[in-house]
Structure 1
Amino acid sequence: MARTAGSHSDITGPRIQDAALRLFARHGYAAVSMRQIAGEVGVQAGALYNYTRDKQSLLFGLMQDHMQELLATWATRPQGEGPVAALEAFTRFHIRFHLERPDEVFIAYMELRNLTPENHAAISALRGRYEDALEAILKRGVAERAFDVADTKIATLAVIAMLNGVNTWYRSGGRLSLDEVETVYWDMVRKAVAA
């Protein structure tokens, strides 16, 4: 099949992903057609299939890339000494990482329902690895009597839900700086686990 004049796989592929990300975040996965994605990129709809099997593959790829980047980036961050320092590091990392990727975060949480069962299981496994990292910190804190948490799994989900809330309201240039917001959230997380 002939390639559209001026298109290059190393340019067009990422442009398709970027367009899908923006459109899925703005309109929702179900409301976006492959034709719309192609229109955003400036290629014919049929050309998309040189880069992706279908719309489901695009959604899965976006979510998988986001989760893999999240896990890889967290793995490179200093964890601090002891569970309290590790929890603070996790809190600050989560807020900053996610604020830089609002569309990815929106899709990662709101579009899970649109994944096929197989793709849903794969993304859930990646999410589980990230949750496990936080739960390990909480379990260590409980074992060392730094935290008082009745159920570390519930506490893990509650902390992540609290931290995700920053994405819904924080705006640069607002009343508080990002550093100040991180500090306020760290104080709330610390008190929530009775550290």
Structure 2
Amino acid sequence: MARTTGSHSDITGPRVRSAALTLFARHGFAAVSMRQIAKEVGVQAGALYNYTPDKQSLLFDLMQTHMRDLMEARADQPASGSAMERLEAFTRFHIRFHSARPDEVFIAYMELRNLTPGNFAVIEGLRRQYEDTLEGILQDGQAEGSFAVPDTKIATLAVIAMLTGVNTWFREGGRLSLDQVEQVYWDMVRKTVAA
């Protein structure tokens, strides 16, 4: 299939993903058509298929990219120190990383139901890897005697849900700065797990 005259895959491909991200976050995956994405990008609907096989592939690509970016950024964080120090670093990292990506976070949580079973399994596996990082910190804290949680898996999911919730209400220029919010959340996480 020939590429549209004047289009460039290194420019149009990212524009397709960016338009899909914005539209999926604003209207929901099911409500967005390929025609709407094409209109947002400024290409004919048929031209989208030069950049993606279908809408499901676009959704999967957005989610997988988000999870891989998250895992890569997390891998760049220091992994030493006490469990308490590592938990604080995880807390602050999670809030910072996600607050800069509200559309990606919204899609990553709200559109899981729209993934095919195979795509869901891949994304769920990546999410589990990320959760395992936090659960490992909590298990280490239990072993050190600095944490007291009845179930590290439930505590992991609860902490991640609490931290991710910042995206639903935080806005720059609001009553609290991101630094202040980060500190409040760290205090809550610490008190939640402390022995």
Q: Same fold (TM over 0.5)?
A: yes
Tell me the residue number matched to 2:185.
185
Q: Which SS does the other structure have where 1:148 is aligned?
A: coil
In structure 1, distance between residues paired with 2:91 and 2:132: 14
Q: Which SS does the other structure have where 1:162 is aligned?
A: helix
In structure 2, distance between residues paired with 1:57 and 1:121: 14
The answer to whether the 8 Å contact 1:163/1:185 transfers is: yes
Tell me the residue number matched to 2:65.
65
Deviations 1:108-133 (A, max 9, x none): 00000000000000000000000000
In structure 2, distance between residues paired with 1:15 and 1:86: 37
CA RMSD of aligned residues (A): 0.8
Runs (5+) with no aligned partner, structure 2: none
Q: State how 1:1-195 maps to structure 2 within 5 Å.
A: 1-195=1-195
In structure 2, distance between residues paired with 1:112 and 1:2: 33
Q: Which SS does the other structure have where 1:7 is aligned?
A: coil
Deviations 1:34-61 (A, max 9, x none): 0000010011111111111100000000
The answer to whether the 8 Å contact 1:149/1:193 transfers is: yes
Give the length in aligned residue pairs.
195
Runs of 4+, deviation exceeding 3 Å = none
TM-score, normalization by structure 2: 0.98
TM-score, normalization by structure 1: 0.98
Same amino acid, percent of matched pairs: 74
In structure 1, distance between residues paired with 2:169 and 2:58: 28
Runs (5+) with no aligned partner, structure 1: none
Q: Give the deviation of 1:80 after TM superposition.
A: 4.5
In structure 2, distance between residues paired with 1:78 and 1:154: 25
